[in-house]
Amino acid sequence: MEELVEEKELEEKPAVEGEPEVEGRAWYVIHSYSGYENKVKANLEQRIESMGMQDKIFQVVVPKEEEIEVRDGQRRITEKKIFPGYILVEMLMTDDSWYAVRNTPGVTGFVGMGRRPTPLRPEEVQRIMKRMEEEAPKIKVTFRPGQRVRIIDGPFTDFVGQVDDIDMDKSKVRVLVAFFGRDTPVELDFLQVEKM
């Protein structure tokens, strides 16, 4: 079998903070069926253990971030996959490690040009890891500007209006409510309105 990566192509990549540096260590992206990322991760970790590949395959990460979803006046914290169908693997690219990853159930292939997988640049990895570590979860809103909503809390309860603007930073929505025959803007919290 042809050697996948020649020695001259190997570059020293910085490891994640707190981990020892290993020459040739890099992050690669593998593709799986969307919705099966966690199962593929578990399969790959089990395969690494059973094949004794811990010295060549270091980490398997499904990039996720927390998201607050507002539905029916309730806030729910959910995990959202940043890149559905993709998994990050930190490894030394050799014939054996390539074979172990590529032949894991659920893996459809590596992302890259031609026969050789392309490693991620260190700044790309840092950006993804930083996004995963963000403390404040993002808020997912089920309504959008121009859509009709019902106010379910506060002094305007049971009024119906049209979404004029959404301020994600403040978790506020401006709704145009009809008072005395004209639209009046009312600023409300995301929890105070529901989509009709």
* Helix ranges (DSSP H) in 52-137: 95-102, 122-133
Please give the structure tokens belonging to residue 154: 């506060």
- 61 & 150 share domain: no
Are residues 130 and 148 located together in one domain of the fold? no
User: Do 161 and 123 sit in the same domain of this protein?
Assistant: no
Task: Please check whether residues 17 and 58 belong to one and the same domain.
Answer: yes
Q: What is the mean pLDDT of the chain?
A: 83
pTM over 0.75: no
- Whether the CB-CB separation of 156 and 38 falls below 8 Å is answered with no
Please give the tally of structural domains in the chain.
Answer: 2
Residue 94 lies in a domain: yes
Q: 163-186 pLDDT, tens per residue? A: 999 988 788 899 999 888 888 899
Who wins on pLDDT, 21 or 134? 134
Range of the domain at 180: 142-195
Both 33 and 98 in one domain: the answer is yes
C-alpha dist (Å) from residue 196 to 21, 65, 158, 171, 174:
54, 28, 12, 19, 16
